[in-house]
Amino acid sequence: MKKSVVILIILTVIPGIIFADIFPKSGTAGLQFLKIGIDARAIGMGEAYTAVSDDISSVYWNPAGLALKSQNQVMFAHTEWLAGIRYEYVAISKITTMGTFALSTALLHMDYMEVTEEETFGFTGELFTCYDLMVGITYSNSFTDKFSFGTNIKFLREQLDEYDVNGFAVDIGSLYNTGWNNLTIGMAIKNFGPDLEYKVDEDGDGHLNEDPFDLLDNDGDGLIDEDQDEFPFKIPMGFSLGVAMDLYARDNQLLLASAQLDNCVDRQETYNIGMEYKIGTFKIRSGYQINYDAASYSAGFGWSIPTSFAIIDVDYSYTNMGDLTESFLKTPHRLSLKFSY
């Protein structure tokens, strides 16, 4: 028990020291799709999932949890987001003698929209669309029967009509099970990576990031440079610290509770709590996010279906987005499928 306390202190204090200068709580980060949670089970528990992670969805929440699954897995997740935006997530894992590896990809997409001119504020008849893309590779391993560690390397891309930006980020996470009532401490640092910057050729001369303030024709086209200097922007790097434990376990029933602190570069700290009650192969969930100005209450259910070729987990969740919720149908609904084989 003393070792558990020491590890908890380390996981709490060290990230706070490391992140002390990079959480100014000002400005806005880009690539916001990286903050949209995946897996209906995790969302149904109010996203208090860093210490619960124990399957293929760990590639998003805490890569250390990927090593806890004794079977290969495939996951498909779909989210009906706000304003007609959709979010797809696919991941596949493979257990090897060196540890567990996974590949994942995420796509945020939307319908085509009409181009509007600023001068006349009217439609031009042209259409455009936007999307965000993530492709990641994850490695995780259990170094003891109580401690596991994992990391995830991600390629990122955002396309806004004709403009695009590419980058990369890294996630790292750890899990420590104390052995007492399955009490688990989880830590994850997500989206650690360099600032990104759009490359825009506003005057169409084939040159980027010219200095428009020196009043010179740097590219020799006979015109004063028209390009504006594009400002770099952060990606939504964050730190999560969570605990989870079994409150009740008997026969085929299990009551799991979790709590979590989230600290993100572009918002104030949030606190998440969640619970899951399992009876046989059926599960119901509920969770709440405190100090978060968009999502608050979440709920969901799941069902495990054993088959001859795999165990299929079907999960659904609903999220109340507060003032952004127009109706029950026009608020985020998530559906995820997991195959363990």
Chain segment 318-336, per-residue pLDDT in tens: 988 766 666 666 678 999 9
Residue 18 CA neighbour count, 13 Å, CB half: 12
Residue 28's contacts (CB-CB under 8 Å, 6 or more residues apart) are 233, 266
List pLDDT tens digits, range 152-174. 999 999 998 878 899 999 999 99
The alpha carbon dihedral of 80, 51, 297, 24 has a sign of negative
User: Is the per-residue pLDDT at 190 higher than 90?
Assistant: yes
- Going by pLDDT thresholds of 50, 70 and 90, the confidence category of residue 17 is very low
262-302: pLDDT as tens digits:
999 888 889 999 999 999 999 999 999 998 766 678 999 99
- Both tokens of 211, joined, read 């200095």
Q: What pLDDT was estimated at residue 53?
A: 95
Output the pLDDT for position 110: 87
Query: Is pLDDT at 24 greater than 90 in this prediction?
Result: no
Domains of the chain plus CATH, in order, are 2-18+25-114+125-199+210-340 (2.40.160.60)
| Six token digits for residue 175 | 């899990």
**Whose CA is closest to 134, among 101, 99, 171?**
171
Record the pTM: 0.83
Q: Which positions ≥6 away from 339 have C-beta within 8 Å?
A: 73, 74, 75, 310, 311, 312, 313
Report CA torsion sign: 199, 138, 274, 109. Answer: positive
Angle (CA) 273-274-275 rounded to 5° is 145
Residue 8 in this model has a pLDDT that exceeds 50? no
Q: What is the pLDDT of residues 53-83, one digit of tens each?
A: 999 999 999 999 999 998 999 999 999 887 7
